[in-house]
């Protein structure tokens, strides 16, 4: 796996939000999740659309006897589902985030990512991975958030990022180290939050299984959009909403 010119970046939702803004995707943010209970997910949904989940866990090489997940073969990957093999070591986090936004039909990608999605639409997963690695705008945005030890190879734990997304009634796990997408389960398309329950079950299994250290983030609509809309509906007279909006603005 290549990637000497892709640096290591901090695993921070604020950093990932700014990274997306750097490539022109300005109406999306990442939010850390401390729980997967119903109240947490409902509160998140109330703030705006949830486009996908990113599961970060400490990666360990599996024993040869460990069961392999069932992945879709290349000729069975649905048209319109963006899945890329990971060919660049340090691009793991960026690739997982791209796997979410490039599979959403409701995200305003901006010119750079829209062009990238259109250009790679007919590519197989291997070439999609190469295209990510070779994209100067994406790599430049990624490296802008490099750590001070960005290009050092030490003894730190290795972490991996996996995306969970809803797509046309199916929840997929997208892991660039796997040969293909993994079908997690089905959801009701007319119930916008039902896919979260399907993804939650799969993630909880990972948390109690092979994941030693882990974290979870949601890729959501910029909270400022939903808050501003609600504030406008009140004629700007809701002090609580105004304070929440100010707090979100202060994070930027």
The answer to whether residue 160 is catalytic is yes
Q: Examine the residue annotation and report whether 71 is marked as an active-site residue of this protein.
A: no
Tens digit of each residue's pLDDT (9 = 90 or more) over 115-144? 999 999 999 999 999 999 999 999 999 999
pLDDT at 117 (0 to 100): 97
**Would you give the distance in Å from CA 204 to the centre of its chain?**
17
CA dist., res. 81 & res. 68, Å (int): 22
Work out the average pLDDT over 183-194: 86
pLDDT reading at 2 higher than 60: no
- Residues of the chain with pLDDT > 70, as a percent, come to 87
In the set 25, 85, 92, 142, the catalytic residue is 92
How confident is the model over 75-84, as a mean pLDDT? 96
Distance CA 13, CA 32 (A): 6
For the segment 85-112, the average pLDDT, to the nearest whole number, is: 94
Among candidate residues 7, 25, 85, 160, the one labeled active-site is 160
CA pair distance 30, 252, nearest whole angstrom: 12
Q: Full-prediction pTM beyond 0.85? A: yes
> What is d(CA 32, CA 6) in angstroms, rounded to the nearest whole number?
24
pLDDT at 158 over 70: no
Both ends of the chain: CA-CA distance in Å? 34
pLDDT band for position 67 (50/70/90)? low
d(CA 71, CA 88): 21
Provide the 10 A C-beta neighbour count for residue 11: 16
* Pairwise pLDDT comparison (44 vs 147), residue with the higher score: 44
- Mean pLDDT in residue range 27-42: 90
The sign of the dihedral angle between the CA atoms of 100, 19, 11, 41 is: negative
3-state secondary structure 41-78: HHHHHHCCCEEEEEEEEECCCCCCCCCCCCCCCHHHCC
162 vs 210, more confident? 162
Q: How confident is the model at residue 146 (pLDDT cuts 50, 70, 90)?
A: confident
Cα–Cα nearest to 94, from 179, 212, 11 = 11
Q: What is the mean pLDDT of the chain?
A: 86
8 A C-beta contact, residue 204 and residue 49 = no
pLDDT value at residue 59: 63
Torsion angle (degrees, nearest 10) of CA 133, 117, 190, 33? 30
* C-alpha span between 220 and 30 (Å, rounded): 6
Range of 26-40, 56-70, 109-123, 198-212 with top mean pLDDT:
109-123
pLDDT given for residue 170 in this prediction: 96
* Cα 108 from Cα 218, distance rounded (Å): 17
Round to whole Å and give the CA distance between 210 and 62: 9
Q: Which residue has the higher pLDDT, 161 or 229?
A: 161
pLDDT at 249 over 70: yes
Residue 148's pLDDT is: 54
Q: Which residue, among 224, 220, 196, 235, has the nearest Cα to 29 in the 3D structure?
A: 220
């Amino acid at each position: 796996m290549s990637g000497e010119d892709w640096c290591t970046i901090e695993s921070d939702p604020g950093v990932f939000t700014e990274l997306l803004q750097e490539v022109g995707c300005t109406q999306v943010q990442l939010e850390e999740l401390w729980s997967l209970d119903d109240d947490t997910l409902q509160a998140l949904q109330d703030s705006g659309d949830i486009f996908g989940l990113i599961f970060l866990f400490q990666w360990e090489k599996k024993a040869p006897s460990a069961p392999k997940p069932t992945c879709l073969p290349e000729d069975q990957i649905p048209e319109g589902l963006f899945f890329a093999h990971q060919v660049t070591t340090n691009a793991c986090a960026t690739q997982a985030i791209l796997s979410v936004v490039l599979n959403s039909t409701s995200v305003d990608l901006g010119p750079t990512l829209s062009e990238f999605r259109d250009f790679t639409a007919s590519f197989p997963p291997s070439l999609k991975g190469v295209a990510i690695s070779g994209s100067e705008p994406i790599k430049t945005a990624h490296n802008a958030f490099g750590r001070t030890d960005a290009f050092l190879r030490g003894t730190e734990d290795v972490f991996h990022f996996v995306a969970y997304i809803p797509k046309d009634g199916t929840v997929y796990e997208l892991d660039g180290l796997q040969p293909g997408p993994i079908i997690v389960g089905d959801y009701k398309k007319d119930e916008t939050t039902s896919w979260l329950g399907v993804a939650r079950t799969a993630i909880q299994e990972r948390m109690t299984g092979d994941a030693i250290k882990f974290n979870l983030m949601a890729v959501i609509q910029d909270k400022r959009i939903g808050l501003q809309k609600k504030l406008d509906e009140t004629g700007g007279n809701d002090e609580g909403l105004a304070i929440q909006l100010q707090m979100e603005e202060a994070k930027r």
